[in-house]
Amino acid sequence: MFSRHSWSFLLVAALLFWAGLVAGISFLEAPLKFTAPGITIPLGLGIGRLVFQALNKVEIGLAVLALVAAFRLKVPQNLVLPLGLLAAVLAAQTLWLLPALDVRALALLAGRTPPASNLHYVYIGAEVFKLLLLLGTANRAFALLSRPALPHPQPTPLDARNPPGEGCVLLYLLANSPQLTAHDRTHPSPGGFRASSGVGRGWGSAYQTFNFSLPAHAL
């Protein structure tokens, strides 16, 4: 099984690799291919359809990897929200934007002129938002997951003097407190003496719910 360090590395690496793909393909390859010599509109559209279909499949794989890593790491809420937004944007592109743009591309390849639409601008806006969200989420994930683990608390001197099961001095003092009620003194529990929450009066709020048992012969 992967360690926490491995899952943390996979989460950050998946987000950064995803961001690199979006930046390289959507903002570099897509506009530049139409400036190459000899590239026609139909040829550029045919290449673009293949590239973006492949990119979408890789994005889905990276999103699944990031979500699985986040689930295994039990990431805090401030990472769950941006990861959920990334998944929502990718789902909208996969189920709506890309199919709609593909229909327009096929119409152009067939020699037809599709009606005017703002889908390309919507897709560009979604890509900008997704890229910024990927970079911000990767940065936040790295900052949170690279923090060193908190050390285990060391026992205090009081803990050392009174380890669990051996606080006889404290139990004896509480059992013999003059603040015990008459009922507490005359009606011990079957297993010995049991102090109720009334013992806490005058001892501070830390003992308000202190409950313990002491064999009757110890008193």
Give the tens place of pLDDT for each residue, 74-127: 999 999 999 999 999 999 999 999 999 999 999 999 989 889 899 999 999 999
pLDDT of 130 > 70? The answer is yes
Calculate the average pLDDT of the chain: 79
Confidence grade of residue 66 (pLDDT, cut at 50, 70, 90):
very high
- Between CA 59 and CA 53 the distance in angstroms is 10
Number of residues that this document lists for the chain = 219
Report the SS3 class of residue 194: strand
Instruction: Return the closest-CA partner of residue 92 out of 125, 44, 67.
Output: 125
Quick one: tokens of 103?
């229909």
Place of tokens 């285990």: 152
DSSP-assigned letter for residue 180: S
Express each pLDDT in 137-172 by its tens digit. 999 999 988 877 555 556 555 444 445 544 444 444
Top pLDDT among 184 and 197 is at: 184
Span 175-185, average pLDDT: 53
Quick one: tokens of 52?
């973006």
pLDDT of residue 15: 98
Confidence grade of residue 200 (pLDDT, cut at 50, 70, 90):
very low
